[in-house]
Amino acid sequence: MPLRTTAALAAGRLARLATRLRGGGSALPGLVTEKVDPAVLRHTLGSLPEGVVVVSGTNGKTTTTKMLVAVLRAHGLRVFTNPTGSNFTRGVISSMLGEISLRGRLDADIAVVELDEAHAIHFADQVLPTHALLLNVARDQLDRFAEIDHTARLLTTLGERTTAGVVLNVDDSFISRVRDVLGEGVRVGWFGVDPSIADRLPELQEADVRFEDPADRPQLGATDGLLLPSEDGRSLTVRFGDGRDVGPLTLRQRGLAAMINATAATTTARQLLDDRFDPRVAAEALESVNPPFGRGEVIDVDGAPLELVLVKNPAGFTVALGTYGGEPAATMIAINDNYADGRDVSWLYDVSFEPLRERGVALTSGVRAWDMALRLRYDGVDVGAVETDLDAALDRFLREHEGEPTRIFCTYTAMMHLRRRLADRFGLARFGEDPA
């Protein structure tokens, strides 16, 4: 292990201790480490015996990564991951600092890391992934990623650099085309929805992502996984072409998007484990996975449920409203426009907020609280109050709706802030301490 890497890990650990004492950031220690040794990822993850898996795409990275890790661990693998949802390279390094010795030894068989579309390329510059799971393409943070063509190019580059196996979304025309650029010998797997429920794809995908002609959809093989929800929509089966079904099973996280994420994770686990894959073990593992921080997480607020729902782009917010918006609960929306959220919030005008019209929104908050309130007015949704300060808004929201079911839709940095306050208040696990 290079001396520079040892020094970088030591510096990162000191930064980690300092940030923990201040109760703050999950990414800063990784940034410090990377500054001291830009090649730290190559020196630490590059030699893991079962390789390095990168999970990327616009929506569902955190949930899918958590599900994949759970399935692999249930099969006996020691898995390193970045469980906080901090999906820049510095977030991966920060997660590693708590598990690695100063000599660079990581007690793991395999790494499964989620990375945002841009930072996945930066990661691949340091350590080539052996496997990649590419989820989807949607318009997201237009100031950072521009149009979806650019996002698709980033994911295509990640696919080009993957050395052993790639799992692709068969229902996303941009993602499916990644197959055409893969290196010789790279194994291709597919996941998607069963053709019998293909009419539900518009709930999740923008129109220009779907195939104009269904006949262009790639043909699937024996080890490709398809989602088949039950008629009541509560449970699912992942159906493989060779008849080795996983399920029926019921996830703890609700909605069609979570089911598709489970299908992606299961298909990837099967590719990674090959003959070691056990459908029964996979089903039990998926049923045990709690929603990640802020992604449909249910928090017990003195006996009443509070759902924390991350929203970050038109497709994601539309899916969230379709899953949660029609159910009775007092609602707060918190919109920030910090770098990690995307500075341009004009995408709010691509979301229909009609599911909130009947009950209205009790409170809007965050840096863009007034913009959110105005947007809701255009859709005829009543807004009870506007409070830009997140702490004051949270206090008021919980006080005025004590004992009621409540729900907060929030962008990433607003979610991080609110989740931290809720952890302090109700004794929740902190970022990086997720027990599941």
Q: Count of residues for the chain? A: 436
Helix and strand numbers, DSSP H then E, in the chain:
15, 15
Question: What residues of the chain score a pLDDT lower than 70?
Answer: 1, 21-26, 84-86, 140-146, 430-436
Query: Structurally, what CATH architecture does the domain formed by 295-426 represent?
Result: Alpha-Beta Complex (3.90)
Cα atoms found within 13 Å of the Cα of residue 177, Cβ hemisphere only: 13
Q: Return the CATH number of 3-288, one of 3.40.1740.10, 3.40.190.10, 3.30.565.10, 3.40.1190.10.
A: 3.40.1190.10
pLDDT of residue 324: 81
Sheet holding 79-81, edge to edge: 79-81, 110-114, 52-56, 131-134, 165-169, 187-193, 225-229, 236-240, 246-249
Number of other CB atoms surrounding residue 180 within 10 Å: 8
Name the DSSP class of 292. P
pLDDT of residue 141: 66
Q: What percent of the chain has pLDDT over 70?
A: 94
Omega prior to 248 cis, within 30 of 0: yes
The whole-angstrom separation of Cα 26 and Cα 39 is 20
Two tokens, residue 398: 């919980």
The whole-angstrom separation of Cα 82 and Cα 88 is 10
Cα Rg, the chain, nearest whole Å: 21
Question: Could you tell me if 260 and 133 are in contact, meaning their C-beta atoms sit under 8 angstroms apart?
Answer: no
Two tokens, residue 287: 């049923």
Dihedral sign computed on CA atoms, order 372, 334, 205, 174:
positive
Two tokens, residue 132: 């990649």
Backbone angles phi, psi at 347, to 5 degrees: -60, -20
The whole-angstrom separation of Cα 435 and Cα 167 is 27
CATH 3.90.190.20 intervals, the chain: 295-426
Catalytically active residues, by annotation: 344
Q: In terms of Cα–Cα distance, which of 337, 333, 404 is closest to 374?
A: 333
- Burial (CB < 10 A; 0-12, 13-18, 19+), residue 4, is middle
CATH 3.40.1190.10 intervals, the chain: 3-288
What are the Cα distances from residue 15, in Å, to 9, 32, 80, 339?
10, 7, 21, 22
Question: Could you tell me if 86 and 94 are in contact, meaning their C-beta atoms sit under 8 angstroms apart?
Answer: yes
pLDDT of residue 38: 86
SS3 state at 23 = coil
Q: What is the pLDDT of residues 97-138, one digit of tens each?
A: 888 887 778 889 999 999 988 888 988 998 999 999 999 998
Contacts of 183 (CB under 8 A, 6+ apart): 160, 162, 163
Q: In terms of Cα–Cα distance, which of 100, 68, 62 is closest to 82?
A: 62
pLDDT of residue 373: 97
Two tokens, residue 378: 């255009």
pLDDT of residue 5: 85
Q: In terms of Cα–Cα distance, which of 156, 153, 158, 164 is closest to 123?
A: 158
